[in-house]
């Protein structure tokens, strides 16, 4: 799995998503993360086909939505997603949110899809430690990844430690928190020292913490900027300064209190 990718939440189906996929793949992106809830799987699939890049060089993720959960519903939702994507197999399929009373049956369906070889890896999204503990106590296959809201203001250290202990990779949605703290002086100072932008410094912080960031953008210049993070390193002092920004501040939903 690539160490960095493109999230496509709120990228519009049709021309916008196809153009975004085309630009990203041209810039070297190889991980594309979508979901049935995003309603742009068809455009993602079309963008992949238009690119001419061999399928085995790409890593495609999608997710089963809350209203689609449960064993039989999930199997059908997977078929529907694959039809929209137009793919023969999927690299990673995720449970989008830990819907109480349903996610264990949903996971059982993912295990079946994995056994059938229709998906190469299975994981979860927005699971807290107690959700993971419950899942691990029932699962035949453990999740390879947990995709969560994660950025310097919500660094989720305990969750990351738990995942590491259980060999679960951590992936960050909203790794830049939609630009909410790009004016943070600590980040600005570090960016200036490296001749980089605040966004690049934040994404580099993710990489050096073994977190896979999937920033979303539809702007070609921003897509290029976000990918240009492999030619510098933050030193230990800079990492610690950024770690100190944590406020346990969520901008998205709390997985313990979802009503959607």
> Is 38 designated active site?
yes
Please report, for the chain, how many H helices and E strands are present, in that order. 10, 8
Which entry of 38, 71, 93, 103 is annotated as an active-site residue?
38
The angle subtended at Cα 253 by Cα 100 and Cα 108, nearest 5°, is 30
Nearest to 231 by CA among 196, 257, 260: 196
Report residue 172: phi and psi, to 5°: -110, 115
- Alpha carbon separation from 19 to 24, 83, 217 (Å, rounded): 9, 21, 11
List, in sequence order, every beta strand (DSSP E) within the chain.
6-7, 31-33, 59-64, 92-95, 122-125, 145-149, 169-173, 211-213
| DSSP β-bridge partners for residue 148 | 172
Burial group, residue 145, by CB count within 10 angstroms (0-12, 13-18, 19+): buried
Residues in the chain: 260
d(CA 64, CA 51): 26
Q: Residue for token digits 């807290």?
A: 128
Residue 61 pairs in a beta bridge with: 33, 92
CB distance 190 to 162 below 8 Å: no
- The two structure tokens encoding residue 19: 């153009």
The catalytic site residues sit at 38
């Amino acid at each position: 799995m690539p160490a960095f990718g493109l999230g496509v939440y709120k990228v519009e189906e049709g021309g916008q998503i196809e153009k975004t996929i085309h630009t990203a793949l041209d810039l070297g992106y190889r991980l594309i993360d979508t979901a049935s809830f995003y309603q742009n799987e068809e455009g993602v699939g079309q963008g992949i086909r238009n690119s001419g890049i061999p399928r085995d060089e790409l890593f495609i993720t999608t997710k089963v939505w809350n209203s689609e959960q449960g064993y039989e519903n999930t199997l059908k939702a997977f078929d529907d997603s694959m039809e929209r994507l137009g793919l023969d197999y999927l690299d990673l399929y995720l449970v989008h949110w830990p819907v109480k009373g349903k996610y264990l049956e949903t996971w059982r369906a993912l295990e079946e899809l994995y056994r059938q070889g229709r998906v190469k890896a299975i994981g979860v999204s927005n699971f807290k430690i107690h959700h993971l503990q419950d899942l691990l106590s029932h699962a035949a296959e453990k999740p390879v990844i947990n995709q969560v809201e994660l950025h310097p203001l919500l660094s989720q250290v305990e969750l990351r430690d738990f995942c590491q202990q259980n060999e679960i990779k951590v992936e960050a949605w909203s790794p830049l928190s939609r630009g909410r703290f790009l004016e943070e002086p600590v980040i600005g100072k570090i960016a200036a020292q490296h001749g980089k932008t605040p966004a690049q410094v934040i994404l580099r912080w993710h990489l050096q913490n073994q977190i896979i960031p999937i920033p979303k953008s539809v702007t070609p210049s921003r897509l290029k900027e976000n990918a240009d993070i492999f030619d510098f390193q933050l030193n230990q002092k800079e990492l610690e300064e950024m770690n100190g920004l944590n406020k346990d501040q969520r901008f998205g939903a709390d997985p313990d209190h979802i009503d959607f």
